[in-house]
Amino acid sequence: MTLRDLDAETRAVLERFGFDEPLFETLRSRVAAGELSPASNVVSGVVEPPLEEDLTALPAPGEPAYEEARAIGVAALERAEVAQVVLAGGMATRFGGVVKAVVPAVEGRSFLQVKLEQTRALERALGSSVPVALMTSFATDDAVRAHVAELGVGEVHVFHQFVSLRLEPGGELFRGRDGRPSPYAPGHGDLFQALRRSGTLDHLRARGVRVVTVSNVDNLGARVDPVVLGMHLVGGRPLTCEVARKEGDLGGAPVRVDGRLQLLEGPRFPPGFDQDLVPVFNTNTAVFDLDALDRDYELTWLYVEKVVEGRKAVQLERLYHEVSAFLPTTYLEVPRRGPRGRFFPIKTPSDLERAQDDLRALLAAPPL
């Protein structure tokens, strides 16, 4: 397959959103050869639960560590050294296949509007600036850009991740009922390359940014917090990943692989590993030193099966938090709920309905 073989509309999408044809052909051949499969997702090595000392608790108000971290975080914000990246590329299939960033979340405000207003309130409180960048996808870019323009919330830098094409399990190109290929966004592991190629990283560096927060657009608890920033800076590591206590949650979690601490996504756990042995899970919220974003990492290509138009399709995806296998990382345990809660995942309309009281409390909370 070459781009010339595709219909004009698909070709335009691929060209606009950075389709990497040589990489696609390499990955497709690996699927056809069986090198990429559900079995290839599983990490090799001995997997063990984290030690108690592997986790760092976010200090509570009144504790000495809280005041120290808060002062350090406030100082970094006042020096305008902090930026915020919001992941807004998903199509929210469990939410009806909509662009979730623009969906009303609470009191008529969209998810993205709440995130941006939280950050603008912090800026006003400190008399400083926090540059915001949104990573979109081919499926969300136009809607997000239009919504940002409607909101009129000041400068927001929008950049997009890349695009790829779904495969059949045997490695052939997956085509829909209309005979056309089926594009998809290959995971937020695109973050590092997309930041550089779009010029966003250079833009942030030119603004004097040293630290970058990363969070999902649908997690309104993951706001820019001076205490979290301070704990990142005090920890002295290039990456801080937020984790929370499990309440029946599945998914990624910090573990030791051959003694090295890192985050593993659910499909990477060996069969038979008891995930209940790990008391916390990954909330997909992180803080990076800016320089740590300016590198390429050999992230795992995960083999993901989806049902598309009633048929099995294969997507190959990468996840940014797997960079924890390459970078010294602080695993910061944060509260889920309450005025300091940092994990309010909204995956379905019923989740949103149940979370309204918590979300209204978030809106009422002071920025500092």
Q: For position 219, which CATH number holds?
A: 3.90.550.10
pLDDT given for residue 1 in this prediction: 58
Residue identified by tokens 């136009």 is 142
User: Using the 8-state DSSP alphabet, how is residue 174 labeled?
Assistant: P
How many domains are there within the chain?
1
Q: pLDDT (tens digit, 9 = 90+) per residue, 81-93?
A: 999 999 999 766 6
Pairing relationship of beta strands 55-57 and 109-110 according to DSSP bridges:
unpaired
- Confidence class for position 292, pLDDT limits 50, 70, 90: very high
Q: What is the distance between the alpha carbons of residues 278 and 285, in angstroms, rounded to a whole number?
A: 18
Pairing relationship of beta strands 132-136 and 157-160 according to DSSP bridges:
parallel
User: Whole-number mean pLDDT of the chain?
Assistant: 94
Q: pLDDT (tens digit, 9 = 90+) per residue, 187-243?
A: 999 999 999 999 999 999 999 999 999 999 999 999 999 999 999 999 999 999 999
Q: Which domain holds residue 218?
A: 3-364
Q: pLDDT (tens digit, 9 = 90+) per residue, 12-43?
A: 999 999 999 999 999 999 999 999 999 999 99
pLDDT given for residue 90 in this prediction: 77
Q: What is the distance between the alpha carbons of residues 50 and 324, in angstroms, rounded to a whole number?
A: 14
pLDDT given for residue 221 in this prediction: 94
With CA atoms as reference, report the closest residue to 342 among 238, 237, 215: 215
Q: Is 205 helix (H, G, I), strand (E, B) or coil?
A: helix
Q: What is the pTM of this model?
A: 0.95
Q: Is 138 helix (H, G, I), strand (E, B) or coil?
A: coil
Element at 9 (helix H, strand E): helix 8-16
Q: 100: Cβ–Cβ under 8 A, 6 or more apart, which residues?
A: 88, 90, 91, 92, 111, 217, 218, 346
